[in-house]
Amino acid sequence: MFWNEFIILPECQDLEGGHRDLRSDITALVGVFFSCLTGRPPIVLRNATDQAPHQRHEKLVAAAASDVQETERLMWFFQRGFAFRISERFQSMSEFISELMRFADSSNENILDPIEQFKILNHNIEATDRKVQLVALKRKFDEIFQPIWQAFHTKLSPINKNEGSIGSGQVQLPLNVASQLPQGEIFDARVARSYTISRNHFDGSAMVLLTGIAVEMDIHLYVCSYTWPIPPGKNIEWVKVAVLEDSQPRITERTVSVVVEMLANKLAHEIRNLILKREQKK
């Protein structure tokens, strides 16, 4: 039996609790629907002036309806659901649900069905989860550069000792360089790690760039190179040099050596371009 002071039904006045009828519970559910709609509990089926809950709060019912026709349907629904005689109310759960669902079917054509609502909710949850994943991947991505820089600096130390200088840092990618990156979730938009060789007798610097793109839970490392300033019409090509898989918690020595070798080869190519440019000016 579903009964308390939220709605007091005439058939439930038996203080010993001897009354048991499913139709009384259905009437209580009608009262729950009424309370959700109007914000008022039904309390009693008839007040001192013999009015049912929907008659006492007709303005609130009308305010909850989308139009006059829906107001009339709601008033009929509550007239049936709050009938004083139990034999005149909804006689079964299937009858009650069938009448209740008519409001869901006709109240708003723009309401999404539950499947569509679930898809949107699931998408939002996945988007939030992805942001959390990207923060973790970015942290892993930032850890990559220390071992690469140490190995790269060691490899190029002979150049550094002679007549040039090697430096590392971050550069803002020129638009024509950034636009050549593969599509994906880039950790630092328009920013990449740079390794630069500068020599006093060169007109410019040789640069290699290293950046990463998140693909699901893997990190794809890309390398490109050019001389600075960039010659007009220069075609910048990014090359994927390594993949740090989700199952690989830290960068391995082999991955470091592969990346460093590619960086060195790219840098050597750009140094040759600088030498060529210098020779052409003579």
pLDDT at 261: 93
In the numeric block, which tokens belong to residue 261?
A: 């070798």
Query: Would the pLDDT of 89 be above 70?
Result: yes
**pLDDT tens string 10-23:** 777 654 445 567 88
Distance CA 237, CA 207 (A): 13
pLDDT at 47: 86
Better pLDDT: 152 or 199:
152
Average pLDDT score over residue span 84-88:
87
Q: In the predicted model, what is the mean pLDDT of the chain?
A: 79
Query: Would the pLDDT of 35 be above 50?
Result: yes
Distance CA 197, CA 225 (A): 11
DSSP state string for 189-213: TTEEEEEEEEETTSSSEEEEEEEEE
pLDDT at 5: 61
Of the listed ranges 64-73, 150-159, 219-228, the least confidently predicted one is 150-159
Query: Would the pLDDT of 186 be above 80?
Result: no
Query: Would the pLDDT of 223 be above 60?
Result: yes
Distance CA 208, CA 242 (A): 15
Pairing state between β 185-186 and 43-44: unpaired
**pLDDT tens string 95-144:** 888 888 877 655 454 444 555 555 655 555 566 567 777 888 888 888 88
Residue 271 binned pLDDT confidence (cut-offs 50, 70, 90)? confident
